Amino acid sequence: MGDIATHLVSFLLPPGTVVHGKLANGLALESRITPWFVGRGFGNYADRTTRRDIRYLLTYVHPAIGYEGPVIKDILAACPGWKIVREFDVAESPGGRDRAALIDKYPDGK
């Protein structure tokens, strides 16, 4: 995702914080977060919407929320009240002017 995103995630989240999403994998080594990958039908899919112990999620917000796949939308739909903590510039689509976001799935602690 880039040096700035890695630095900001490191600043915002303590080492070892578990984070949902494909984008978390790319930041795991440098930011020392723990990624929790979920794919359609594999990789922690069964409990994707009930994991209350995973507070944060990294996903695209432009070109669209959940651009990397519908599983992210499933997770967010199960977390009413989620809020964007911080957005980051990324270059994933052919246009290269994308945005990703660190999302707090349970900002009220509920």
- For residue 1, pLDDT over 60 is answered with no
CATH assignment of 3-104? Answer: 3.40.190
**Collapsed DSSP state (helix, strand, coil) of residue 37:** coil
Helix, strand counts (H, E) of the chain: 3, 5
Mean per-residue pLDDT, 59-78: 90
- 20: which residues sit within 8 A by CB, 6+ positions away? 36, 38, 48, 51, 54, 56, 57, 58, 72, 75, 105
Confidence of residue 6 (pLDDT cuts 50, 70, 90): low
Mean per-residue pLDDT, 69-98: 87
- What is the residue extent of each domain of the chain? 3-104
For 39-67, what is each residue's pLDDT tens digit? 787 777 888 898 889 999 999 999 888 88
Mean per-residue pLDDT, 20-26: 83
How far apart, in whole angstroms, are the C-alpha atoms of residue 84 and residue 103? 4
Confidence of residue 107 (pLDDT cuts 50, 70, 90): very high
Give the predicted TM-score (pTM) of the model: 0.84
Q: Round the average pLDDT of the chain to a whole number and report it.
A: 83
